[in-house]
Amino acid sequence: MSSARVGAIRSQSQLKVTSTGSSSFRSPHAPRNSVLLGDNVPLMAGLPAESVDLVFADPPYNLQLANALTRPDQSRVDAVDDDWDKFADFSAYDSFTRDWLAAARRVMKPNATIFVIGSYHNIFRVGAMMQDLGFWILNDIVWRKTNPMPNFRGRRFTNAHETLIWAARDSSCRSYTFHYEALKAGNEDCQMRSDWLLPICTGGERLKDAAGRKTHPTQKPEALLARVMLAASNPGDLVLDPFFGSGTTGAVAKRLGRDYLGLERDPAYAAAARERIAAIEPLPDEAIAAAPTKRSAPRIAFASLVESGLVAAGAMLTDLHGRHRAMVRPDGALALGQIVGSIHKIGALAQGLPACNGWTFWHFESGGGALAPIDDLRTIARASLAAAAE
């Protein structure tokens, strides 16, 4: 997506709609870069279907602390005991979960994905409900906390992680956004794993009121949201957060050039989030622009390399070890003895395999008798194509 488009979307969308919970507005486009006040289910019902690119949801965890929790020094742990985290029983929590998940699914574009974060108190119910509603789980991801709260009673393992579920809208969604190569490049050239080690949100990042009390009990670290958005969204995408809280999703979205839409029931949280996001400075477009990937590179026919003279008709190609030899035909096909076919087909045939990437399998003799893959020639062809387009 070009930065021009990003700008256009941003400018159209500073409407700051405020709703009281009824489906009081309808528009062909979802509002962008706003915090909508009210219950998220009717608010989502008021959004156009298939209008958001990514959902991040941090629903109430349904924590069940029977009694007050104290540290060994008898100081009281400031546990989550807000009204929004109280449910009569599992059935009430399931019903709540079904409602918001179904509403979120409706507004997801066909190739959108959703992340939901939770702990063992609620994540199993959330995950089962997602499967029941037709979501297609892509991964579960473990956020390993570098600095979790210890288990003060010494009766359990330190609860040192939370779980995220990443899912597509349904099982047929195959072209969801996933920046595999960028993540790998940023991870020592190793695939990004399903376990992420990140600190919890503390220090200057943690929102506090004038008296020093934390604004929101479960503020998520921006690094977590950043990894989510960098992995599964593009600049200019609309990220919906139906449990906006302190607005971490909005803050990170703005910084990373994504658009956000936050839904929040509590006016105080919404106000704190708006203030927080207003202070965010977006990163420059160059820092955000999606890196070109091999999958997105323009397709080049091997025939065009022959036509342009990068490969001579009649030249012999071999595999890296010189075990197989094939001749380049003027029409861009390869000939292995009497058999003629594409670079891929002939490569597969030569090895007795069902498939083969001919670009990396076949080599030509470059300077000094060294062998180089014909993929190098494709790179040259792509460069001259790009130069011609300037």
Partner DNA sequence: ACGGGTGATGAATCGCCTT
Partner DNA sequence: CAAGGCGATTCATCACCCG
Count other Cβ atoms within 10 Å, centred on residue 89: 9
With contacts defined by CB under 7 A, name the span among 8-16, 44-52, 57-65, 258-266 that binds DNA.
Answer: 57-65
> Which 343-362 residues touch DNA, going by CB under 7 A?
343-345, 355-360
SS3 assignment, position 160 = coil
| Contact assessment for residue 319 and residue 306, using Cβ atoms and an 8 Å cutoff | no
Partner from DNA, a second copy, none binding residue 128, C-beta < 5-8 Å depending on class? a second copy
Given the complex with a second copy, which of 118 and 262 has the nearer CB atom? 118
Kindly tell me which of 203 and 369 has the beta carbon lying closer to DNA: 203
3-state secondary structure of 40: helix
Total residues at interface with DNA (CB under 7 A): 85
HSE at residue 149, side-chain half, CA atoms within 13 A, is 14
Question: According to the binding rule CB under 7 A, does residue 106 interact with DNA?
Answer: no
Residue 246: what residue type? S
Distance, in Å, from the CA atom of 320 to the CA atom of 331, rounded to the nearest integer, reads 24
Radius of gyration for the alpha carbons in the chain, expressed in angstroms and rounded: 27
CB of 322 to a second copy, least distance (A): 19
Q: Does 58 participate in binding DNA (rule CB under 7 A)?
A: yes
Q: Which residues 6+ apart lie within 8 Å of 291 measured at CB?
A: 179, 181, 182, 185
> Within 155-184, which residues bind DNA (CB under 7 A)?
155-156, 158-159, 162, 171, 174-175, 180-181, 184
**Residues in 186-245 at the binding interface with DNA, rule: CB under 7 A:** 189-191, 199-204, 206, 212, 214, 217-219
Q: Which does residue 166 touch among a second copy, DNA, none (CB within 5 to 8 A, set by kind)?
A: a second copy
Smallest gap from Cβ 161 to a second copy, in A, equals 5
SS3 302: helix
Among 27, 131, 366, 379, binds a second copy (CB under 8 A): 131
Does residue 1 belong to the site contacting DNA (CB under 7 A)? no
Taking CB under 8 A as the rule, does residue 194 contact a second copy?
yes
Please report where in the chains the tokens 């006040």 appear, as a residue.
Answer: 37
222 vs 260: CA distance, rounded Å: 14
Cα 273 to Cα 296: distance, rounded to the nearest angstrom: 36
Query: Which residue lies nearer to DNA by CB, 109 or 345?
Result: 345
Residues within window 322-381 making contact with a second copy, judged by CB under 8 A: 348, 351, 353-357
Q: Do 233 and 241 form a contact (C-beta atoms < 8 A)?
A: no
Please tell me the distance from the alpha carbon of residue 253 to that of residue 261, in angstroms, as a whole number. Answer: 10
Q: How far is the CB of 191 from a second copy (least distance, A)?
A: 4
Helix (H), strand (E) at residue 229: helix 222-232
Handedness of CA 203, 184, 253, 5 (dihedral sign): positive
Q: Which is nearer to a second copy, 134 or 267 (CB)?
A: 134
| Residues near a second copy, by CB under 8 A | 66, 70, 72-74, 90, 119-121, 123-128, 130-132, 137-142, 144, 148, 150-151, 154-161, 163, 165-166, 171, 178, 180-181, 183-184, 191-195, 231, 348, 351, 353-357
